[in-house]
């Protein structure tokens, strides 16, 4: 009964927040700004710049079994010749397999709007596409492609900020990337999604109401240490090891 209720809460959240936002078109104006940091920042402000919190690593999955997929953008640089494009360099990880990738984020549409919850601020959403090419010389490499949605707001100084205004609310999410991974070797494509705090189209995996929580049946696909790291028994050796693993900066070369 508890899991059934949780499932419906997640569906309600997706219905309320998963649709495109209507507002004023801001696509041309966004060219004046460099928004690369929206995808690389380590910390962000919540509730109108009153508190700073850590931004955790993105959560992601690949394939029908919701195998855990990790991705880290090491650098994002605005294209001087096309101001709606950003060059991306980073790394992906599935199990112990790590691949470097390079690619492009392309902005297709930007919308700004007013929210009654924060009447003095202007909020916005970036919609676009991405294609990332993993190093073909590395094991298990391929191409990531799809579409994304990133939320931002203008603070009272007119600066663009990562939209974490409602980070304390249940179901908060940002930087939602949804698409596929296609193997160079076999040509087979797998669903591959990731995002901050939540993962798009993950209702079978994510049974959490207030925050992301993987279902027990998928823990064996890379999610066990994630769950263990959140346990309160900080003196438990398994918990200590899980937290060490979750905090590992695996994208940094030794």
Kindly report, residue by residue over 59-86, the tens digit of the pLDDT: 999 999 999 999 999 999 999 999 999 9
52 or 32: which carries more pLDDT confidence? Answer: 32
Determine if the pTM surpasses 0.95: no
Cα Rg, the chain, nearest whole Å: 18
The candidate with the shortest Cα–Cα distance to 84, out of 40, 21, 27, 123, is 27
In this predicted structure, what is the pLDDT of residue 225?
95
Mean pLDDT calculated for residue range 102-106: 98
In the chain, % of residues over pLDDT 70? 90
Phi/psi of residue 8, nearest 5 degrees: -65, -30
In this predicted structure, what is the pLDDT of residue 248?
94
Mean pLDDT calculated for residue range 9-25: 51
Distance CA 60, CA 68 (A): 6
CA distance to 21, 30, 46, 80, per residue, from 152 (Å): 12, 12, 12, 22
Say which range, 54-58, 88-92, 164-168, 221-225, has the weakest mean pLDDT: 164-168
CA distance to 99, 119, 172, per residue, from 153 (Å): 33, 12, 15
């Amino acid at each position: 009964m508890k899991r059934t209720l949780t499932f419906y809460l997640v569906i309600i959240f997706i219905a309320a927040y998963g649709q495109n936002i209507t507002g004023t078109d801001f696509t041309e104006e966004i060219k004046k700004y460099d928004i690369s940091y929206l995808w690389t920042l380590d910390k962000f402000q919540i509730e109108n710049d009153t508190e700073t919190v850590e931004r955790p690593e993105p959560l992601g999955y690949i394939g029908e079994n919701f195998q855990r997929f990790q991705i880290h953008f090491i650098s994002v640089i605005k294209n001087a010749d096309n101001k709606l494009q950003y060059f991306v360099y980073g790394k992906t990880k599935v199990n112990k397999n790590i691949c470097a990738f390079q690619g492009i984020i392309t902005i297709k549409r930007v919308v700004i709007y007013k929210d009654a919850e924060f009447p003095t601020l202007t909020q916005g959403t970036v919609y676009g596409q991405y294609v990332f090419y993993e190093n073909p010389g590395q094991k298990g490499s391929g191409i990531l492609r799809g579409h994304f949605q990133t939320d931002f707001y203008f603070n009272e100084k007119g600066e663009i900020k990562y939209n974490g205004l409602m980070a304390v609310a249940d179901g908060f999410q940002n930087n939602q990337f949804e698409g596929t991974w296609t193997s160079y070797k076999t040509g087979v494509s797998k669903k591959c999604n990731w995002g901050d705090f939540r993962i798009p189209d993950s209702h079978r995996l994510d049974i959490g109401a207030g925050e992301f929580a993987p279902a027990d049946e998928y823990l064996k696909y890379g999610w066990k240490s994630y769950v263990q790291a959140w346990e309160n028994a900080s003196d438990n050796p398994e918990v200590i090891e899980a937290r060490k693993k979750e905090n590992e900066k695996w994208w940094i070369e030794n």
